[in-house]
Amino acid sequence: MSLTLKILLISIGFACFAPPVVLYVATRGPQRALRRLGEVHWTELARVRWGFLMAVNKCTFFLCAGAVAVALVLGHDDFAYPRLLALATLGLAYVTSLAVTVRLARDVPGPRNKDATFGQKLKTSAAWIMLLRGPAVASLVALAIIPMDARSPWAYITVLALLVVVVWLLGPGATWAPRKLGVMAPASQELAERVNSAGERAGLGPIPAYILEMPIANAFALLFGRAIGITRGLIGTLTDEQLDSVLDHEAAHLAEGRARRWAHGAAAFVPVPILTALPVGMTFGPIYGLALGSLSILILVAGKKVAISLETRADAAAHKVEVNEGEYAGALESLHGTNLTPAVVPAGSSPHGNLYDRMVEAGVQPNYPRPGLPDPQGGLSVLLLAAYIALIGACSTLSAQMTPASKNAIPMADE
């Protein structure tokens, strides 16, 4: 069997079999803990559920990053591996990871529309993709880089063009694209009037309001589209006063200066230096790859600090305009309980901070003791990082053994 065919089988095997094996093994413990819970307070259910979700998120990120690394290494211009197959490996790994993740999530407590049609489920998935733009950016950049010669200026022109597209999606396209996909629609007149009132209190004037086809209960400030999105699951969850306080929080985000909003949105571009570090380092030397990797870390750190600052300021704005003391804190508790979001999370894991502490600071004492911290799955992170490094090393070693003469040819057996 030729070396090229061996690599083909290894890459396809990774794409097809790694997602179910990694995800099922990593989530076995949290799944057992969920089954043993029985009837408990929502804070305990949310705490255990968070450990499961962290395991799924970290495994999915590892699998997608691993697939991108495999495709980038094997599709690199120095190696004799058909780039079309590298792209196929990447796509297959994405689809398999998504399918396994959806299957695992079906058995986990949480907000969902059990009567949703297949089309509605697709809309919900599309809404998540539009909101979580990091994976979308990663996919676009990977698909752009893999077929390109890293030494060619066209590779960087292509990446630059993609960045322009992403900037547009963060700005004017933040509402245009989701509406065209059918995952966002204008809010009702009553809800639009409430959003406009929040805009007036924030000194912004009327703000466009949209409904997002998502079962969770939440509201989002579209920082660059200067609009507010309200999920379908939020409607009817809060009292009118609580809803107004949440809308005031989101309007405060939109009232921030352009520089602060763009600094917060920079986190969406982190996949760009992460993914380009590998081909650039392989082509021009490791120091250039390390420089891009360091840039991604700086963006993450700066983005997190800005996000914490924005959330603190928005909370203050929501408390300032609430009619009755504690309305905003009560709204946060209702949202956490509906979405089964932990009342206490590890330090630094969320820019929003802990619900329990936010309620106490607002003068509202929760009617339950302070919950314990959920499992951050730190050991799993170390194992996945080691596996990722080993995967890149194995791919690089195998690819280095290939000869240019065999490029774009996959013999079925050694001659």
Classified as helix, coil or strand, 40 is coil
Query: Are 71 and 162 found together in one domain?
Result: no
Residue 368 lies in a domain: no
Q: What is the pLDDT of residue 230?
A: 92
Query: Are 280 and 192 found together in one domain?
Result: yes
Give me the helix-helix angle, 42-74 and 83-105, nearest 10°: 170
List the structure tokens of 344.
């206490």
Residue 359 lies in a domain: no
How far apart, in whole angstroms, are the C-alpha atoms of residue 115 and residue 152? Answer: 51
Place of tokens 């979580």: 132
Residue 345 lies in a domain: no
Residue 85 lies in a domain: yes
Residue 351 lies in a domain: no
- DSSP letters for 324-386: STTHHHHHHHHHHHHHT--SS--TTS-TT--HHHHHHHTT---SSPPPPPPP--HHHHHHHHH
Q: What is the pLDDT of residue 405?
A: 43
Q: Which of 339, 364, 386 is the last residue of a domain?
A: 339
How far apart, in whole angstroms, are the C-alpha atoms of residue 342 and residue 356? Answer: 9
How far apart, in whole angstroms, are the C-alpha atoms of residue 178 and residue 131? Answer: 9
Domain span at 10: 1-110+376-415
Query: Are 214 and 241 found together in one domain?
Result: yes
Total count of domains within the chain: 2
Query: Are 298 and 411 found together in one domain?
Result: no
The 10s digit of each residue's pLDDT in 89-118 is 777 777 777 777 777 766 677 776 666 676
Query: Are 127 and 91 found together in one domain?
Result: no
Sequence-distant (≥ 6) Cβ neighbours of residue 377 within 8 angstroms = 51, 54, 55, 58
Query: Are 92 and 136 found together in one domain?
Result: no
The 10s digit of each residue's pLDDT in 121-142 is 666 666 666 665 555 666 666 6
Query: Are 28 and 123 found together in one domain?
Result: no
| pTM of the predicted model as reported, rounded to 2 decimal places | 0.79
Residue 34 lies in a domain: yes
Q: What is the pLDDT of residue 301?
A: 80
How far apart, in whole angstroms, are the C-alpha atoms of residue 357 and residue 378? Answer: 24
List the structure tokens of 172.
């004017």
Residue 360 lies in a domain: no
Query: Are 154 and 95 found together in one domain?
Result: no
Residue 369 lies in a domain: no
Q: Which of 339, 362, 386 is the last residue of a domain?
A: 339
Query: Are 13 and 160 found together in one domain?
Result: no
Query: Are 68 and 103 found together in one domain?
Result: yes
Low-confidence ranges of the chain (pLDDT < 70): 1-4, 6-7, 68-84, 86-87, 105-107, 112-116, 118-152, 155, 170, 266-269, 271-272, 275-276, 278-279, 282-283, 285, 392-393, 395-415
* Closest residue by Cα to residue 245 from 138, 319, 192: 319
